Structure 1
Amino acid sequence: MPRNTTTCTPRGIAAGLAVVASLTLALSGCAAYDATSPADARSRPTADGGERVKSGVDCAEERCIALTFDAGPSKHTPELLDILKEKKVHATFFLLGRNHVVKHPELVRREADEGHEIANHTWSHKILTDLDADGMREEMSLAQDAIAKITGHKPTLMRPPQGRTNDTVADVSRGLGLAQVLWSATAKDYSTTDSALIEKRILDQADRDGIILLHDIYDGTVPAVPGIIDELKKRGYTFVTVPELLAPGTAEPGKVYKP
């Protein structure tokens, strides 16, 4: 059953956008939405009766967790990709269009070529719930087009900035073929450069079917990733992309997925 969830708190802030915590606190209002858990997604047939996603991992049996990164690519992304390749981990990258995708097409291409899931984090990190439908559509579609120009494929997943969503965001994302993906564990790495603290925060929140939110744009984040991966592997976790976490179900456009 979908769970009714309310988002009221400030979330991660993308670097280079001149957004600071004091501004996020000024945002008012709460957005209620129905969220589908990974376990529920796995048990459902696709909406159109089409073929379900095939994955080499059965997350109904294994202890799966998804590692996701928002707001890149950035100067830190090559090091992160090297780490993920060494650790044999695939992640999901929610990419920011302006100042990121368009400035680092070679990194977007590398992410896709190395088997990571490429997803949409809007064009300029505007809070979607502050916009009308046309503004929402522009934020998502500009990022879609920029990513597709590089990879040849439009994303099927998006993450609304600060996790703020509502019925209009759902309608617009549905029209663009995008499902919404939120998270269950965050290090608030926009607020610290302490890699040990970032690692501890994630490990304290990690759970089966979890979705980890990090940002590959902050100085302290990428150095924390090896320790996060190694410790969670020791705990018996298998790292998967978001589509693999939901498989054999598929993320339906417009819907919100959250552990």
Structure 2
Amino acid sequence: MKRNSLRWIFNCHRWFPTKDDLLIALSCIQEEERNRIFNFVYKKDVKLALIGQLMLRRCVSDCLDIHYDQVSFRRTDKAADSIDKIGVDISKVKQSNQQSTDEYFKTMERIFSPQEWKLIKSQDPMTINQSPLHRFHRFWALKESFVKAKAIGIGYELRRIQFNCPTINVPINQIVNDTLVNHDGLLSNNWMFEESLIDGNHFISVALSADDLTCFRQQSTNNFFQFVQFNQLINPNVHVVVTDDFWVKYNNKEEGRHV
């Protein structure tokens, strides 16, 4: 079975929409989504939700050959792919301002198994290309993508999930898909993880589950994430249907903290 996937990245942190940008973007999406998005307190969350909606609309329009204006969505709590389960997480490599790396690791001790901590903290020559903090965020992205795919919930004990990574370092802008997962001590053969390192500081893990992963594993090495720009996501011919009130509401919000 041929699998078609789109992997897009948009840098919301560096996107500061003009009034025209915002009104055009809001006019591209459904009214109920506009209202939902503007319930967010911070600008950053408005931008994230808005771009997410535009990505979905452009993806469906392009892949299914449906006119942009004819796309209509209903909301569920699941991600979208052609296989049984999928979960996606991105983890930014960052140093705490208040704590040293060792102190930070201490506060997160219960998250990882002893075997995972051994690799995270390893001084082996095979691991020197990436720091312990890099390896920490790689494992974090893996665990978060897995629990999202399984819809386990935020209270789940993450140490019950243990990853074995034959590829020690994830190369920048390449796909690693040989990572294995043990859940409650049992190897789960029906899971595959597509790992990427974007710009050297953002680990992305896509967790995929299906009865037969053979064809997906063969194709996954080409599923690179691509950066897209705002003008690629909108309908340039859209008729603006929202008022300036949205621009006023947006400017009255604080930016919010980016992580």
Fold shared by both chains (TM-score > 0.5): no
Q: Which one has a bigger Cα radius of gyration?
A: 2
The bucket for the TM-score relative to the shorter chain is: under 0.3
The two structures have a TM-score, normalised by structure 1, of: 0.27
- When normalised by structure 2's length, the TM-score is 0.27
